[in-house]
């Protein structure tokens, strides 16, 4: 009788715990999914070091305001910089239109080189699908200057930074990614060390 009573009490306690323990939230690194259409591994891109693309689809498992998106963008260098109809600044660093995006190019010759976030060089940003709790954004960069080498192999990494300040908005990409392992180059290891809300997309290709 004692064993039966003990077993019944344990079962009841386990059932109560199952009702009272909150369901774990979706991990931060599962909130965003990136697909990279260009470049692909092994591609031979551009002419004389420029005229190549980084083309992304970014799917957020949050409403538009939480993606960090601040507005449409159709921009570029010189006379194309920050003009109507879709204004956007154009320089290395954190993107003013999608400030959670991190984009690294291993052969960059500007700023902090492979650790330089070049997301603010992306030219075209738009919202391609919106739902109550999901958002799809397409983001494209047309490389207009030979700042990443010529006739050389290069690697691009892209990811979306974690919500570092815990304000519920994915807008915390750095202007320069910290070199976490101190080896003088930034790559997937340094992205993971910084903290991400997304997968990492990588492609190794030849810049013509």
Tens digit of each residue's pLDDT (9 = 90 or more) over 111-125: 999 999 999 999 999
Domain that holds residue 159: 26-207
Average pLDDT of the chain is: 87
DSSP state of 91: S
* 8 within a domain of the structure (yes/no): no
* 166 within a domain of the structure (yes/no): yes
Q: Cα separation of 183 and 171, whole Å?
A: 27
* 185 within a domain of the structure (yes/no): yes
Kindly report the number of other CB atoms within 10 A of residue 12's CB atom: 10
Residue 101 β-bridge partners: 160
pLDDT value of position 81:
65
* 3 within a domain of the structure (yes/no): no
pLDDT value of position 93:
97
Q: Structurally, how many domains does the chain consist of?
A: 1
Tens digit of each residue's pLDDT (9 = 90 or more) over 140-186: 999 999 999 999 999 999 999 999 999 999 999 999 999 999 999 99
* 15 within a domain of the structure (yes/no): no
Residue 155 · residue 203 · CB < 8 Å:
yes
* 18 within a domain of the structure (yes/no): no
* 14 within a domain of the structure (yes/no): no
Tokens representing 163 are 């919500």
Kindly report the number of other CB atoms within 10 A of residue 119's CB atom: 27
* Residue recorded with tokens 């003088």: 184
DSSP state of 107: T
* 171 within a domain of the structure (yes/no): yes
Tokens representing 181 are 């392992």
């Amino acid at each position: 009788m004692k064993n039966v009573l003990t077993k019944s009490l344990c079962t009841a306690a386990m059932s109560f715990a199952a009702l009272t323990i909150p369901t774990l939230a979706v991990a931060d690194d599962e909130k965003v999914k990136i697909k990279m259409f260009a470049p692909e591994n092994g591609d031979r891109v551009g002419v004389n070091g420029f005229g190549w693309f980084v083309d992304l689809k970014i799917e957020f498992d949050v409403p538009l305001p939480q993606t960090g998106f601040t507005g449409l963008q159709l921009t570029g260098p010189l006379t194309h910089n920050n003009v109507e109809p879709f204004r956007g600044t154009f320089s290395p660093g954190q993107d003013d239109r999608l400030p959670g995006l991190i984009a690294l190019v291993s052969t960059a010759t500007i700023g902090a080189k492979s650790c330089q976030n070049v997301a603010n060089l992306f030219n075209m940003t738009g919202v391609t699908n919106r739902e109550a709790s999901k958002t799809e954004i397409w983001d494209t960069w047309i490389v207009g200057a030979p700042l990443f080498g010529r006739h050389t192999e290069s690697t691009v990494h892209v990811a979306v930074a974690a919500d570092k300040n815990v304000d519920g908005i994915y807008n915390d990409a750095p202007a320069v990614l910290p070199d976490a392992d101190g080896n003088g180059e930034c790559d997937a290891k340094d992205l993971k060390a910084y903290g991400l809300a997304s997968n990492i997309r990588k492609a190794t290709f030849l810049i013509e």
